[in-house]
Structure 1
Amino acid sequence: MVLELIGNVAATIGGLVAGVMNILTDLFLTKPLKATIQYLEEAELKTLQGDVKTFKARTLWEKSGAVIMAEAAELSSLKPQLDQLGVPLYAVVKEDVGTEVQNFRPFFKGEIFLDEKMRFYGPRERKMGLLGFLRVGVWMNGLRAFKNGFSGNILGEGFVLGGVFVIGQGEQGILLEHREIEFGDKVNVEEVIQAVRRISQELQPLENK
């Protein structure tokens, strides 16, 4: 009984400390600026396998929409569902440092492209910085990634926060935009699926014509 009480008190204190640290670090975190479809579609992406090709990002979603993730490896588990709905999943990375992309490939089942100008990390670039390591969530997310066998790095632009976009085909525009609050912050997968279903519903009449 005493041990249980001590455990509950420790958990409460730990939660309060974590909450205070999050509030303090939030003060130094740049607020995200929402991207527009016009901003994203002009992003120049590069292929990372075979002959290097550069193309405008809009070609990824203009026919069937797309889910595009920047630094969110765990979305890969949704690929079978996205394939069923006819919407592709892509990843964009901000740099190709050492074997980083090569090490990432086993954890991602879609195509990976290089976004050197980091449009999918903007329009306002956001960095977590060393203060991020004061957040409990960062340590928990890092531990989860380590257990799953994935290890990133903080070389180059390693402190830049990413996000996830669900972009519709045609005039649908951006249906979902998730910006990381901290390293490893996960998007709500149910919201991703709901947004993708909106794309799928729009595509079905076109396929039946």
Structure 2
Amino acid sequence: MSADTDMWSPKEQYLKEMVSDTNKSEILQAELHTPTTPYNLLQEIELTDLNINSNTDTRKKIKARSLWENAPCLVLVVRRPGCWLCRQEAIKLATYRELITNKLGIDMIAVVHETVRNQVSDFNMDYWMGSIYLDESKGFYRALGNGELKWESPFAMLKPTVLMNYRRQKKETDCDGNMVGEGRILGGLLIMKPGDQGVAFDYHEKTFGDHAPLEHVLQACYQVSLKKNTNPDLKQQVEKEVEKLKNEGFKRVEVCSVDGLCEL
């Protein structure tokens, strides 16, 4: 270790390493955390297709496993579709649909656990703009909690990290939102391998506005893509987006360090 390195604080060294992946060939092969969501809790979940029509009595019922039967699938497990922070996550993921779905071949779906008033239609029309399903049994939410629903206290809205999440949302996307519906049941994000190969990536929401890092989502999507070997340009495209997201994260952490409201 050089003398300069010895002078870095642990936080400074972390920040430097976060954006110093100069070996591009290793970026998309980086080891992501081992998923902990049990696959056996996911495959038989019954979902209601909310994309068909407005008559709830005739909506199509499907088993969750059919969503990734033939291709990988990204599943956004939405805590509350009216939430400002959930809408922010949806619209940020939706901006990558061209890359994730059209180029990498990974279907993107969202699940909600309730339909209250026009919350789901507003969420889908203005933010997610994709396929959405009702998980009435809250099976995906239970699976992310290893069989149990994970709840957050309403007082979590006063946590510094949550306040910072709202501040981030206001600055980055400024989504409209409301307090309609049950928003204490924590969700997350899953990336499923095709067939019965299981979970490739999972992210368990820890508090309000806690989102899966987009750079990790793109890395996992690339790793499970069935198209990456047939289109050599895909690697460069995904690497470019991952590097961009890492640099944005670096800048955000720098701002948080100055404000004193964020944790690494």
TM-score, reference length from structure 2? 0.60
1:81 pairs, out of 95, 99, 102, with 99
Residue 104 of structure 1: CA displacement?
0.5
Q: Which residue of 2 aligns with 1:182?
A: 207
Q: Which residue of 1 aligns with 2:161?
A: 137
Q: Which amino acid aligns with 1:172?
A: Q
Does 2:193 correspond to 1:168? yes
| Equivalent residue pairs, number | 173
2:116 pairs, out of 97, 102, 106, with 97
Q: Which residue of 2 aligns with 1:29?
A: none
Separation (CA, whole Å) in 2 of partners of 1:150 and 1:201: 34
SS at structure 2 position matched to 1:41: coil
Q: Which amino acid aligns with 1:54?
A: K
Q: Which amino acid aligns with 1:52?
A: R
Does 2:129 correspond to 1:109? yes
Segments of 5+ residues of structure 1 without an aligned counterpart are 1-32
Q: Percent identity?
A: 32
1:131-176 CA distances to partner (integer Å, 9 max, x unpaired)?
3122112122234445634345554422111100000002431011
Segments of 5+ residues of structure 2 without an aligned counterpart are 1-34, 79-88, 231-264
Q: How does 1:4-153 map onto structure 2 within 5 Å? A: 34-49=36-51, 50=53, 51-71=58-78, 72-73=89-90, 74-83=92-101, 84-105=103-124, 106-122=126-142, 123-146=147-170, 148-153=173-178
Q: Which amino acid aligns with 1:121?
A: Y
Change (3 A) 1:146 1:94: farther
Structure 1 segments of 4 or more deviating over 6 A?
none
Q: Which amino acid aligns with 1:79?
A: R
TM-score, reference length from structure 1? 0.74
1:185-208 CA distances to partner (integer Å, 9 max, x unpaired)?
110112212221222148868xxx
Does 2:223 correspond to 1:198? yes
For the aligned residue pairs, the C-alpha RMSD in angstroms reads 2.3
Q: Which residue of 2 aligns with 1:17?
A: none
SS at structure 2 position matched to 1:107: helix
Q: Which amino acid aligns with 2:118?
A: T
Residue 126 of structure 1: CA displacement?
0.9
Q: Which amino acid aligns with 1:112?
A: I
Separation (CA, whole Å) in 2 of partners of 1:94 and 1:47: 12
Tell me, yes or no, if the aligned pair for 1:100 and 1:152 is still in contact at 8 Å.
no
Q: Which amino acid aligns with 2:132?
A: I
Separation (CA, whole Å) in 1 of partners of 2:229 and 2:151: 40
